[in-house]
Amino acid sequence: MRFIPPFMRTSFTPKLFQRRSCSAGGLSKGNHQYIEFGIDSNQVGGCEVHYLSDTTAYLRWIYVNGDIVGKGIGTKCMNALKTFLYEKGIRRFDTDTALDNKIAQHYYEKNSFTREGITRSYYTKLKNCSLEENKNE
């Protein structure tokens, strides 16, 4: 499933820290960033964001530490992330879940994401073959 949130500026407790970009160039297309969330200098969760354009980002995954699940910290982390992205010029923020992942779907909808549709998945069966064999196919 694919979700799109409206952006909102809200106050939040968690701070983003130890931002690590995996490729040079900041928020430009094709780059991604690992972000950790912290409260009082303690890491409480993290996420991976991919930048699809100067104004669009994709949330690959997000988590909070297991001992604080269900205490509203995930929502505060999401609000911190949305604020961070909004301040960087991102205006569309996408993510998706497996069709049967009801927990994640509830989390995203609770955090102002809108269900947009169902994406199609593709796969191929891999076999062990050499590069020479692939040239003939």
Least confident of 11-20, 28-37, 80-89, 92-101: 11-20
The pTM for the full model equals 0.71
Task: Enumerate residues 6+ apart whose C-beta is below 8 A from 72.
Answer: none
Q: Give the pLDDT confidence score for residue 2 in this predicted structure.
A: 46
Q: Which residue has the higher pLDDT, 62 or 131?
A: 62
Q: Give the pLDDT confidence score for residue 106 in this predicted structure.
A: 94
User: Which tokens sit at 111?
Assistant: 């955090």
DSSP string, 18-52: EEEESSSSTTSTT-EEEEEEEETTEEEEEEEEEE-
Q: What spatial distance separates the first Cα and last Cα of the chain, rounded to whole Å? A: 35
Cβ distance 107 to 45 under 8 Å?
no
Closest CA to 113 of 88, 95, 91, 97: 95
d(CA 11, CA 43): 19
Judge whether residue 27 has pLDDT over 60. Answer: no
- Mean of per-residue pLDDT scores for the chain: 77
Q: Give the pLDDT confidence score for residue 125 in this predicted structure.
A: 83
Range 118-136 average pLDDT: 70
Using 50, 70 and 90 to split pLDDT, how confident is the model at 58? very high
